[in-house]
Amino acid sequence: MNNDKVNNKLAVYNMLKRTAVLAAIFSLLVCVFFILNYFQLKSNDPLNSPALTKLYADLDTNPNDDVLRQQIRSLDLLARKAYFTKQWQINFGGYILFAGIVVLFVCLKLMSELKQKTPELPQPVTDTWENRLLSQKWVMFSGIIVLSVTVALALLTQKEMSAASFERQQVKKYKVPDEKDILKNWPYFRGPYTIGYAAYSNVPQTWDGESGVNILWKTPVPKPGFNSPVFWDNKIFLSGADENTEEVYCFDDNSGQIIWQRQVTGIPGSPSERPDVTEDTGYAAPTMAVDGSYVYAVFATGNLVCFDVGGNKIWGKNLGVPDNHYGHSSSLIVDRGLLLIQYDHGNGASVMGLDAATGKTVWQVQRDMGITWSSPILVNTGKRMELILSANPFVVSYDPKTGNELWRVDCMGGEVASSPAYADGIVYAANENAILAAIQLGDTPEIIWEHEDDLPDASSPVATKEYLILSSGYGAVTCLDAKTGSVYWLHDFDNGFYSSPILVGENVYLMDLYGNMQIFKADKTFSLVNTAQLGEDVSTIPVFADKKIFIRGSDNLYCIGEK
């Protein structure tokens, strides 16, 4: 080969070599950029600046301050510009890093081919820094490190920025509902008080599913579930699940149309295989909770998810697959920004309070209890708020803010599914094959009376200052003196009850398993007001709203109202 061709190829070879060196140095510098960018974000979050957080806190105190609102808008705009600039930098940095690595490997490939075709090219001196940098083993090793570190930091940075965006959104949008808002809605299992009281009594006493009398609408629910509806500001929320899919639904209370339907996906830690459940419990037994800003749902897989009321996913996490031979069924409560969860199963019982806006654990207490299917209640005793849980063998009260145990009474047994009742300073806990215990609260809570007959297995009792009403799985309904435990009356209905009695004004509404609503007086003598037929099996608790009742049957969601 003549010298001109050799010199030309040598020039090309050296040009490729210089280009490869520059590409390698460039890629390393981009990697350094990602490292610096990540640590800068950790120390200086553009969307969670202390100044902006303080302004939002001031706005909570002075909600009508327009000057303060304008300051927030201006600072928030600057923060969002900084956020999107950083996001652009991350995306652009990823592209140019990829380009730099491609150029490096293309140059190395061409150099290798050129050497093979041109033996006359001088062999490189191996101890020069350029040749060491471009040696095949070094390039491969460095390339793997650069790519691994950069990809990891890019993902972490994106995660940090997503979290930052989310947390800033929570400061703006999350609002702890006041008592008036809670009472005019139906945010939890067994109503706004969690103990079976309806705030509205102006609801129908007559309807018929077969003829359509007072049935304003009915809508099929896409997936099965034994959770009861919850309601907030003209929206009804349900969950459904089967062996393949978990979903959350939002219905319009006027038309019954599904406003939005969301699959629960992308939950970190979600199990690849679903646990075994029974037909009586299924995969979506726990009733959801809603607080006006967000709705929360938990499933038999341990998946816990939060959506805003518009259907946007806010956060999700897995609590650990519950070891529970029937399936998980304990329902959710939200109190002053804390999502409260009773999670008693075979792998370890616990109760926890999560930040409702982020899902982060604020407190968690391990419990020395057996597997439980009951739901907690949240009551104001006049002295403090108490979160009260019934399980085997204890009824225990916790401070909902901290999880500190307030008191416990040893009185339960068996497979506890019935939730406690409360009225006038007395907690009532009952379970089939155990006892009904009336626990008088005070400095040292104590059992003041017990009852052993016709106890509930799934239904939860309801109490007033005067009466305690129980319903059993085989159709017996008992009214007792709330102070002494004396039986006022016992009535045997034809069908059993999984649903719980709800106090609606002076009446009690109690739905049996075949969809018959038994309406009777809360009184010393049994007085049946009416029986209204839905025409569909029911295991859930109705929602009582202004002039309407919402009932989830085995297949459909119904709205009952005067036509």
Alpha-carbon distance values, 440 to 384, 483, 488, 520 (Å): 15, 9, 21, 27
Q: What is the tally of structural domains in the chain?
A: 2
Helix (H, G, I), strand (E, B) or coil at 14: helix
Q: Residue 400 in contact with residue 386, Cβ under 8 Å?
A: yes
AA letter at 117: K
Cis peptide before 63 (omega within 30 of 0): no
Examine the domain organization and report whether 167 and 184 are in the same domain: no
Cis peptide before 393 (omega within 30 of 0): yes
- Assess whether pLDDT exceeds 50 at residue 171: no
- Closest-CA residue to 130 (of 149, 111, 144, 146): 111
- Assess whether pLDDT exceeds 50 at residue 334: yes
Q: Residue 267 in contact with residue 313, Cβ under 8 Å?
A: no
Sole residue written with tokens 């990809």: 151
Examine the domain organization and report whether 98 and 117 are in the same domain: yes
Q: What is the mean pLDDT of residues 506-517?
A: 98
Q: Can you give the pLDDT at residue 170?
A: 43
Tokens linked to 208 = 């018929």
CATH code of 327's domain? 2.130.10.10
How many Å apart are CA 102 and CA 95, to the nearest integer?
11
Examine the domain organization and report whether 136 and 71 are in the same domain: yes
Q: What is the mean pLDDT of residues 317-334?
A: 94
Q: Can you give the pLDDT at residue 164?
A: 44
- Assess whether pLDDT exceeds 80 at residue 202: yes
How many Å apart are CA 548 and CA 340, to the nearest integer?
28
136 DSSP assignment: H
- Assess whether pLDDT exceeds 60 at residue 45: no
Enclosing H/E stretch for 179:
helix 179-183
Examine the domain organization and report whether 289 and 366 are in the same domain: yes
Q: Residue 125 in contact with residue 131, Cβ under 8 Å?
A: yes
Examine the domain organization and report whether 332 and 189 are in the same domain: yes
* φ, ψ dihedrals at 496, nearest 5°: -85, 175
The residue from 173, 200, 228 where one domain ends is: 173
How many Å apart are CA 289 and CA 186, to the nearest integer?
9
Q: What is the mean pLDDT of residues 57-70?
A: 59
Examine the domain organization and report whether 149 and 227 are in the same domain: no
- Assess whether pLDDT exceeds 90 at residue 218: yes
Examine the domain organization and report whether 140 and 203 are in the same domain: no
Work out the number of other CB atoms within 10 angstroms of the CB of residue 527: 12
How many Å apart are CA 382 and CA 21, to the nearest integer?
76
404 DSSP assignment: -
- Closest-CA residue to 313 (of 300, 303, 326): 303
Alpha-carbon distance values, 505 to 50, 378, 488, 519, 538 (Å): 49, 21, 20, 11, 23
CA atoms within 13 A on the CB side of 71: 13
Q: Can you give the pLDDT at residue 76?
A: 58
- Assess whether pLDDT exceeds 70 at residue 144: no
Question: Out of 135-149, 283-297, 493-507, which region has the weakest mean confidence (pLDDT)?
Answer: 135-149
Q: Can you give the pLDDT at residue 74?
A: 63
Which residue did the predictor score with more confidence, 236 or 116? 236
Length of the chain equals: 563
12 DSSP assignment: H
Examine the domain organization and report whether 442 and 322 are in the same domain: yes
How many Å apart are CA 102 and CA 80, to the nearest integer?
33
pLDDT digits (tens, 9 = 90+) for 235-290: 999 999 999 999 999 999 999 999 999 999 999 999 988 899 999 899 999 999 99
The pLDDT confidence band at residue 427, using thresholds 50, 70 and 90, is very high
The residue from 173, 189, 209 where one domain ends is: 173
Examine the domain organization and report whether 138 and 227 are in the same domain: no
How many Å apart are CA 99 and CA 101, to the nearest integer?
6
Q: What is the mean pLDDT of residues 553-559?
A: 97
Q: Which residues contact 396 (CB under 8 A, 6 or more apart)?
A: 367, 388, 389, 405, 407, 408
Q: Can you give the pLDDT at residue 73?
A: 58
Which residue did the predictor score with more confidence, 19 or 506? 506
Rg of the chain (C-alpha set): 32
The residue from 173, 207, 237 where one domain ends is: 173
Tokens linked to 354 = 């999560």
Examine the domain organization and report whether 152 and 212 are in the same domain: no
The pLDDT confidence band at residue 491, using thresholds 50, 70 and 90, is very high
- Assess whether pLDDT exceeds 70 at residue 89: no
Tokens linked to 421 = 């009742």
Tokens linked to 376 = 């907690």
Which residue did the predictor score with more confidence, 3 or 475? 475
Which residue(s) pair with 378 in the sheet?
387
Residue 252 CB-density burial (10 A; 0-12 exposed, 13-18 middle, 19+ buried) = middle
How many Å apart are CA 319 and CA 329, to the nearest integer?
14
Q: Residue 381 in contact with residue 397, Cβ under 8 Å?
A: no
Sole residue written with tokens 């609590």: 319
Examine the domain organization and report whether 133 and 236 are in the same domain: no
Does pTM surpass 0.85? Answer: no
- Assess whether pLDDT exceeds 50 at residue 172: no
Which residue did the predictor score with more confidence, 143 or 429? 429
- Assess whether pLDDT exceeds 90 at residue 407: yes
Tokens linked to 434 = 């155990």
Range of the domain at 204: 179-561
DSSP per-residue string spanning 149-166: HHHHHHHHHHHHHHHHHH
Examine the domain organization and report whether 207 and 324 are in the same domain: yes
Which residue did the predictor score with more confidence, 51 or 269? 269
Which residue did the predictor score with more confidence, 127 or 67? 67
The pLDDT confidence band at residue 103, using thresholds 50, 70 and 90, is confident
Q: Sign of the CA dihedral 25, 27, 30, 34?
A: negative
227 DSSP assignment: P
Q: Can you give the pLDDT at residue 548?
A: 97
